[in-house]
Amino acid sequence: MGIIIGIILGIVQGLCEFLPVSSSGHLVLLQNVFGIEENALFFTIMLHIGTLVAVFVVYRKVIGEMLLSVIKFLRLLFTGKWQALREHIKTPVQLKLFYLIIATLVTVVMALVFNDLIDESYEGKYLGFGFIITSLVLFSLNFVKRKGRTMKWWNACGIGFMQGIAILPGISRSGSTIAGATWFGLRKEEAAEFSFMLSIPAILGSLILEVPDIIREGFGSVNWLQIGVGVVFAAVSGYFAIKWMIKLIVNKSLNIFAVYTAILGVLVLLDQFVFNIFMENPFM
């Protein structure tokens, strides 16, 4: 049964990390459904590593270009070639990296400021509300006129802010960042790539921030086979989710996900406040 749960959670994490439906929200929900308490945090972190692998595979070319750009930047910096350095900073690859850093810093500041609220939210307290917020964000895209602008630093700040809000379970990270990029009039392809590339520092950052809690919580009786299977399925499903989402963003609307998260949010709220089958009333 543990292996089956590992497969289910791995697939859910891989799909929901990149589909605009909130992976953390679904994991919190399923952990309540399956009654997973021991090593839940460690398991969640390991599943995120699986989705991180998927991003690296899909965007390996872009990531490689960024690494080469960083190496060239450092070489020009240490050799004192200032004119060449100024020109290099303005290249598309370097600008993209710069915008990713800006967006990530904004998210980090929000995570540090609202750390207590984030910890509280992972108990599922605001889960239903989070799904409904995701639905509203996605539905708002129907009223945005796409302008095809190129990204500026203030756009990166806004997208980082949207990602910071999406730290709360139930609010989709990919949905929020793609919506933010669309609100700012960015091209659909650029919005998708930036959102998925932004998941790299986001996932790595969450790993670093959660290390003290993992150490404090301990590993207990870790089922390494279950975790390993979950990571593999998270990576594979995440790869296909990215490929699918790129096509959806460019050619289709995201209304189906808006409807899905709205229904899920209502069901979670009903269970929290009325039925209490899987979740207790968070405000009692």
281 CB neighbour count, 10 Å cutoff: 11
- Give the percent of the chain with pLDDT over 70: 92
- At residue 266, the pLDDT reads 95
Whether residue 45 has pLDDT greater than 90: no
Closest CA to 124 of 187, 68, 169: 169
Task: Return the structure tokens found at 112.
Answer: 């540090």
Distance CA 202, CA 104 (A): 7
Among all chains, which residue has been given the structure tokens 């605009």?
20
Task: Quick: pLDDT tens for 185-226.
Answer: 888 788 888 999 998 988 887 777 777 766 776 666 667 888
Q: How confident is the model at residue 38 (pLDDT cuts 50, 70, 90)?
A: low
Section 247-265 average pLDDT = 89
Distance CA 16, CA 10 (A): 10
Task: Quick: pLDDT tens for 86-143.
Answer: 999 889 999 999 999 999 999 989 988 888 887 777 777 889 999 999 999 999 988 8
Would the pTM of this model clear 0.95, i.e. be above it?
Answer: no
Helices 188-217 and 224-251: crossing angle in degrees, nearest 10, is 160
> What are the contacts of 31-38 at 24+ separation with CB within 8 A?
32/124, 32/278, 32/279, 33/278, 34/5, 36/5, 38/220, 38/221
Q: How confident is the model at residue 233 (pLDDT cuts 50, 70, 90)?
A: very high
